[in-house]
Amino acid sequence: MGGESEKWALMVTGRTPTNIAVIKYWGKRDETLILPINDSISVTLDPDHLCTTTTVSVSPSFDQDRMWLNGKEISLSVGEFQSCLREIRSRATDFEDKKKGIKITKDDWQKLHLHIASYNNFPTAAGLASSAAGLACLVFSLAKLMNVKEDYGQLSAIARQGSGSACRSLYGGFVKWIMGKEGDGSDSIAVQLADENHWDELVIIIAVVSARQKETSSTSGMRDTVETSLLIQHRAPKRIIQMEDAIKNRDFPSFARLACADSNQFHAVCLDTYPPIFYMNDTSHRIISCVEKWNRAEGTPQVAYTFDAGPNAVLVARNRKTAALLLQRLLFHFPPQSDTNLDSYVIGDKTILQDVG
């Protein structure tokens, strides 16, 4: 391994934004490999607002793998981390820094321990897809550190094994997670449909209805859905093709209709689950009514909404002018500090995966 009296440490820092599905992933056909029962499509957010920054370091002086999330030590023994660590370690290649006299072979990587420090700049597990950004960032940073040669598609298949939606956060812009057919999950990967510059007049506003931790995790919620919901069989693959076309043609009315319909169908499926899952609350429903009324009054959609596994609204405005009007309306109907306690973030969708270390 080398290095003067083994007193060295190597470090890589990565930054990965979260992504919001406009056609939702919900349900697994294989829980261990995290293979979904449908394709999904997402938009990756701007890294300045909702992102995870992770520093991974390796040193012969570390005697065990350790991880800190937002400054607090957490256990690395849980399945999702272990799968990602195992997959990345198995693909590690030789590394050499001649100046520092450090040489790490493929075999050394299996024995060396890691320290991982991760920060979310937004509430963890509040339905803002923190696991997506977190696991994608972990895989990306570890792959850099361990000199892994795999392309983004292959890395996405590793991130997928940490948390399904994480595979889509490896790319900016619009991303599709192809469910795949193979039993080993080798074709269940994310691909970029369009980059972050393709449709840059869109503005995403997240109305944070509640930053509290959600009551039903996505993992257990979707397991219950697969076991008990009859409605789940009716989720339409046709919508994926239509959404791909809407994105390709920057067709906002179709984009909005499809995104809203898919979000509503996803929450209907949650309600059809036993025991029923309620991710949205009264404020979420009021936001939907407000947007629907506005869109109807305009005759063509101006704003799309989508809700993940939590009450927070992700609103997509067709351009900056509409976004300004939308914010005005939100502040009027849901003033901060009122009992609805709505907080808003403005987020452009231009996003790139950043390697900052």
- Closest separation in Å from C-beta 26 to ligand DP6: 6
Query: Coil, strand or helix: which one is 232?
Result: helix
- Closest separation in Å from C-beta 41 to ligand DP6: 9
Identity of the residue, 21 or 326, whose beta carbon is nearer to ligand DP6 in the bound complex: 21
- Closest separation in Å from C-beta 297 to ligand DP6: 29
Contact 42, 20 (CB under 8 A): yes
Give 137-170 as a DSSP string: HHHHHHHHHTT----HHHHHHHHHTT-GGGGGGG
How many whole angstroms separate alpha carbon 161 and alpha carbon 80?
A: 7
- Torsions phi, psi of 163, nearest 5? -160, 130
Contact 229, 273 (CB under 8 A): yes
How many whole angstroms separate alpha carbon 184 and alpha carbon 94?
A: 27
Contact 110, 61 (CB under 8 A): no
- Closest separation in Å from C-beta 4 to ligand DP6: 42
Identity of the residue, 26 or 199, whose beta carbon is nearer to ligand DP6 in the bound complex: 26
Identity of the residue, 92 or 204, whose beta carbon is nearer to ligand DP6 in the bound complex: 204
Identity of the residue, 164 or 180, whose beta carbon is nearer to ligand DP6 in the bound complex: 164
- Closest separation in Å from C-beta 336 to ligand DP6: 25
Cβ-in-10-Å burial (0-12, 13-18, 19+) of 316 comes to buried
Query: Coil, strand or helix: which one is 64?
Result: coil
Identity of the residue, 8 or 235, whose beta carbon is nearer to ligand DP6 in the bound complex: 235
Identity of the residue, 187 or 355, whose beta carbon is nearer to ligand DP6 in the bound complex: 187
Residue nearest to ligand DP6 (CB): 164
- Closest separation in Å from C-beta 62 to ligand DP6: 28
- Closest separation in Å from C-beta 160 to ligand DP6: 8
- Measured at the alpha carbon of residue 234, what is the angle toward residues 218 and 238, in degrees to the nearest 5? 100
- Closest separation in Å from C-beta 165 to ligand DP6: 3
Site of interaction with ligand DP6 (CB under 6 A): 21, 24-26, 34, 40, 129, 131-132, 163-165, 218-219, 308-309
**Strand locations in the chain, DSSP E?**
10-17, 19-23, 28-30, 35-36, 40-44, 51-59, 66-69, 72-74, 95-97, 102-104, 113-120, 174-177, 190-194, 203-208, 303-306, 313-317, 343-348, 354-355
Half-sphere exposure of 247 (CA within 13 A, CB side): 24
Identity of the residue, 290 or 309, whose beta carbon is nearer to ligand DP6 in the bound complex: 309
Read off the tokens for 75.
Answer: 């256990």
How many whole angstroms separate alpha carbon 62 and alpha carbon 10?
A: 12
Identity of the residue, 19 or 283, whose beta carbon is nearer to ligand DP6 in the bound complex: 19
Identity of the residue, 117 or 269, whose beta carbon is nearer to ligand DP6 in the bound complex: 269
What are the Cα distances from residue 74, in Å, to 121, 152, 174, 186, 279?
A: 17, 27, 32, 30, 26
- Closest separation in Å from C-beta 11 to ligand DP6: 27
